[in-house]
Amino acid sequence: MTDTDVEALARQQVARDEASLEGQRITGGRRSSQSMREVFTEFWRHPSPYILGTYLTAAVVARVLAGPGAWWELLIPVGLVLLMPFVEWVIHVCVLHWKPRRIAGLRIDPLLSRKHRAHHRDPRAIPLVFIPWQVELTLGPAAVLIGWAVMPTWSAALTLAVADLVLLSAYEWTHYLLHSDYRPRSAWYRSVWRNHRLHHYKSEHYWFTVTSAATADRLFGTYPDPATVPTSPTARNLHGLTE
């Protein structure tokens, strides 16, 4: 499958989505592309950037007040950047695509999994693109708590928290941008954009990375030639569930 084929498939799916909504789109009037200014303005109409922005600002201020740290703290963000594609892949596969099940008589179906199923049912609904706000409210305290648990000093813990929140913010922006009407320009973004559309419109069983060009997918065997993959009947209805 070439880039032209993917583009044609994406256009067909978008047309069906818009028809099912009778021409109404969460991002505004019907159009084939948006400028970066338009998508950036739309981004700030949702709670996510404000929640993460508040936490990130607080973490940066706390890190500055903590004073100089050790030289090796510079390795923390580098390590997280290298790990991010693999962490992202594991969360996508094991949490977001979690199939509801009963364990000891209790139905296990996390909010993240439910919201992600809704996102697959309607990839054009921009509010469903973001991490649920209920989850985001826990991310700032969780970043600090994890840093405190695994780092030997407060300065290192806060460095880790800042790096975590920067990468979470980058994920939110990238995922939002992929579902917006901004057209790919760079080769890197075109590759990421193509893979994500294949995940939503070709098969939900492959192409799990979002912020990188299939780094972890290549390692874990979820980056096949699209021409060899049959179109999944459950790409828009994960696990064949209706709720």
Q: How confident is the model over 228-232, as a mean pLDDT?
A: 93
pLDDT at 7: 61
Query: Does residue 16 carry a pLDDT above 80?
Result: no
Q: What residues does 182 pair with on adjacent strands?
A: 34
Q: Which pLDDT score is estimated for 240?
A: 85
Q: What is the pLDDT of residues 71-82, one digit of tens each?
A: 999 999 999 999
pLDDT at 14 over 80: no
Residue 26 confidence class, pLDDT cut points 50, 70, 90:
very low
Is 177 a residue whose pLDDT tops 90?
yes
Q: What is the mean pLDDT of residues 111-132?
A: 95
Q: Does position 23 have pLDDT exceeding 60, yes or no?
A: no
* Average pLDDT over the chain, rounded to an integer: 89
Output the pLDDT for position 3. 59
For residue 5, what pLDDT is reported?
63
pLDDT for residue 211: 93
Asked if residue 57 has pLDDT above 50, the reply is yes
At residue 2, the pLDDT reads 60
Report the distance separating Cα 1 and Cα 16, nearest Å: 21
Task: Say whether pTM exceeds 0.95.
Answer: no
Task: State mean pLDDT over 155-162.
Answer: 97
Mean pLDDT of 115-138: 95
Q: What is the pLDDT of residues 186-198, one digit of tens each?
A: 888 999 999 999 9
